[in-house]
Amino acid sequence: MSANFVLFDIPLKPRVEGTEKLYFRKEKNCVSFNTFFGAVPISKIKKYTDITALEFDFNAKANFDVQIRTEEKQIASGSFYEHGKISVKLSDIPDTSKLLYPVIGTEKIEKISVLAECENVRKILPAIVICTYHREQFAKKNASLLAEYLRKSGTSGQVIVVDNGRTLTDFSDERITLIPNANTGGSGGYKKGMEEACQRGFTHFLLMDDDVEIDHTAVQRAIGFLKCLKPEYKDISISGSMLYLDKPTRQFEAGGHFYEDGTQRGFGHYLDLSQEKALLLNERENDINYGGWWYMLMPSKYAEQGNFPLPFFMKYDDVEYALRCKQKIITLNGVGIWHEKFESKYNSSSEYYNTRNYLFLCSLHCKDFNEQKAKNFAKKQMKAKRKRQQYKMAQAVKRGYEDYLKGLEYLQSLDAEANHREICKLNYEYISYDEIEKRYGVRPADNRFYPPPDVRPDIRLLFPKKYIFTDKFFDRPVQYLTAKYAVHCDPDRNCGYVTGRKNKNIYMEEL
């Protein structure tokens, strides 16, 4: 027996400033929803689900004409007064079509819902697991937003907030569960939330970062999609896109692939999703074998019998878990979040976890990986840091390599919170441009660096500098030649840290 239910509502109000074209496009007297949050990912609905028909339900404060289109052709149309419905059979949509969307002849739209007709609708009981550490306002805002969505939509489910900083107080909302936890990092926090969700019988986890902006329809779409999966795809996971908060129509990544030789590739890097061509590129099927835990919706079956993330604290825990579980992962336009770019959090502690956890990941999932390859990797990273005057980072790499050599048993017995405190002692102090000028008598020029990375080193040698200014993340070793001091700048936050060149690294033992 077929059933009709709301697959998702097309959102009409941008969640983040500057993202209107992710929601709708105004074209003459029409509004088109050939957008990231507006279009139906019809090719993946036809492939992965048992949905047989879709119904578009419109409400507006005017008379209006509607066309239902794909990127190739018009599928259906109608004229209505204030309210109207148009049904589309999936068998009438060409197999080559990627996106299905309405074009409406008025801007006075109040609501658009997309309903699905499906023979066998599965019960999905999601636990939305948010791990937080000293970001109380973000955690409160997102937990409340998602709990309100669950309640208003009638979706059974729970928001589980794992507080690694132990600074939050109980939420008054019965849809939110707060779990105080030791600072075991993202991997330990998600493990705690997954354990709680397993004990309470939830069918799926949605693992999500705390410091994100999210449109609740990104959750509604994913859950609706899972309800109608064909039996052969019932264990699919959905990886949400990550978009940059500072460039909110640009995508960082929509899933990735980690290869047996230790290389990895992210898909959809830097696509501008306000562009129609980018949407079609983003809807392609990619060979995804991991997805970031800024938004990962997966079946809880993976965590049965104690199968939880390794205690990586942060970095590569999501990749390792996906490879271990052999997850089948897809992405969907309209499913994603906005997140601060990772460069803003880059410091020596990042290098420690990047080194240690990457080596563990390779030892578990790479072909022909051995101790010599691990050593070569660490030496290469240390050399690169020294060339940049980042001696503390070189120490962090060395410490990560040494902890990798101690093995997984050591990692699993480690006091993660105490270890993290020690590692953070290697972090550089970021100070404002004003403070840099006050302390050192030099001031970085906003968004301009000296010397630029494309100047020939031999020319630079003729003009040695006492201070140089580089982008702390997007730099090259040749920029540091002849410089006595370097100011590693964060141009987005107008701050940075200062290092000095050492002729002899007498405190740094070779590997």
**3-class secondary structure for 236-286?**
CEEECEEEECCCCCEEEECCEEECCCCCEEECCCCCECCCHHHHHHHCCCC
213, 324: one domain: yes
Other residues' Cβ atoms within 10 Å of the Cβ of residue 393: 27
- What pLDDT is stored for residue 479 in this prediction? 82
**In Å, how far from its chain's centre is CA 511?**
34
Q: What is the number of structural domains in the chain? A: 4
Domain check: are 190 and 215 in the same one?
A: yes
> Residue 240's pLDDT is what?
97
Q: What is the pLDDT of residue 250?
A: 97
pLDDT at 468: 85
- Does residue 30 sit in the same domain as residue 57? yes
Are 193 and 129 in contact by the 8 Å Cβ rule? The answer is yes
Strands 100-104 and 51-70: antiparallel
Cα gap 201→404, rounded to integer Å: 35
3-state secondary structure of 443: coil
pLDDT tens for the chain, 511 residues: list them. 456 899 999 999 999 999 999 999 998 889 999 999 999 999 999 999 999 999 999 999 999 999 999 999 999 999 999 999 999 999 999 999 999 999 999 999 999 999 999 988 999 999 999 999 999 999 999 999 999 999 988 888 999 999 999 999 888 899 999 999 999 999 999 999 999 999 999 999 999 999 999 999 999 999 999 999 999 999 999 999 999 999 999 999 999 999 999 999 999 999 999 999 999 999 999 999 999 999 999 999 999 878 999 999 999 999 999 999 999 999 999 999 999 888 778 899 999 999 999 999 999 999 999 999 999 999 999 999 999 999 999 999 999 999 999 999 999 999 999 999 999 999 999 999 999 999 988 888 754 555 555 555 555 555 567 888 888 888 888 888 878 899 999 988 889 999 998 865 444 456 6
Amino acid identity of residue 434, one-letter, is D
Residues 418-444 have pLDDT tens digits of 999 999 999 999 999 999 999 988 888
Cα–Cα distance measured from residue 491 to residue 362, given in angstroms and rounded to the nearest whole number: 34
Q: Is residue 508 a part of any domain in this protein?
A: no
In sign, the C-alpha dihedral spanning 469, 473, 478, 483 is positive
- What local confidence, expressed as pLDDT, does residue 65 receive? 95
Q: CA 501 to CA 376: how far, in whole Å?
A: 24
Q: Do both 82 and 204 map to the same domain? A: no
pLDDT at 506: 40
Give CA separation, 321 vs 177, 179, 187, 244, in Å.
Answer: 24, 22, 10, 24
Domain boundary among 341, 364, 389: 341
Check whether residue 153 and residue 43 sit in a common domain. Answer: no
Judgement on whether residues 236 and 313 belong to the same structural domain of the protein? yes
DSSP labels, 364-426: HHSTT--HHHHHHHHHHHHHHHHHTT-HHHHHHHHHHHHHHHT-HHHHHHS-HHHHHHHHHTT
Specify if 510 maps to a domain: no
Residues 6+ apart with CB under 8 A from 176: 143, 144, 147, 158, 159, 160, 161
**Enclosing H/E stretch for 353:** helix 348-365
| Domain end marker among 385, 407, 424 | 424
- The 10 Å CB-count burial string (b at 16+, else e) for 346-364 is bbbbbbbbbbbbbbbbbbe
* Residue 398 backbone class (left: φ over 0; alpha: ψ -120 to 50; beta: rest): alpha
Q: Taking a C-beta distance cutoff of 8 angstroms, is the pair 38, 14 a contact?
A: no
* Structure-token pair, residue 129: 């697991």
> What span, in angstroms and rounded, lies between the C-alpha atoms of 407 and 409?
6
Range of 356's domain?
346-424
pLDDT of residue 456: 56
Residues 131 and 193 in one domain: yes
Query: What confidence score (pLDDT) does residue 1 get?
Result: 40
The C-alpha atoms of residue 221 and residue 267 are separated, in whole angstroms, by 21
Token duo for residue 233: 């795809």
Q: How far apart are CA 38 and CA 332, in angstroms?
A: 12
Pair type for strands 212-213 and 204-209? unpaired
Task: With respect to residue 505, please indicate whether it lies within any of the assigned structural domains.
Answer: no
477 and 386 co-located in one domain: no
HSE-CB for 372 with a 13 A CA cutoff: 1
Of 118, 152, 186, the one marking the end of a domain is 118
Name the phi and psi angles at 57, rounded to 5.
Answer: -115, 120
Does residue 93 fall inside a structural domain?
yes
Question: Measuring CA to CA, which residue among 232, 237, 200, 231 is closest to residue 125?
Answer: 200
Residues 173 and 299 occupy one common structural domain: yes
Query: What are phi and psi for residue 326, nearest 5 degrees?
Result: 55, 50
Q: What is the CATH number for 14?
A: 2.60.120
**For the chain, how are helix, strand and coil distributed in percent, rounded to 5?**
35, 30, 40
Q: With respect to residue 507, please indicate whether it lies within any of the assigned structural domains.
A: no
11 DSSP assignment: P
In this structure, what token pair is assigned to residue 436?
């840099």
Quick check: is 511 in a domain?
A: no
**Per-residue model confidence (pLDDT) at position 507:** 43
Co-location of 397 and 283 in the same domain: no
Contact 364, 390 (CB under 8 A): no
Helix (H) or strand (E) holding 136: helix 136-153
- Same domain, yes or no, for 462 and 489? yes
Q: Do residue 361 and residue 293 come from a single domain?
A: no
Q: Which helix H or strand E contains 213, and what residues bound it?
A: strand 212-213
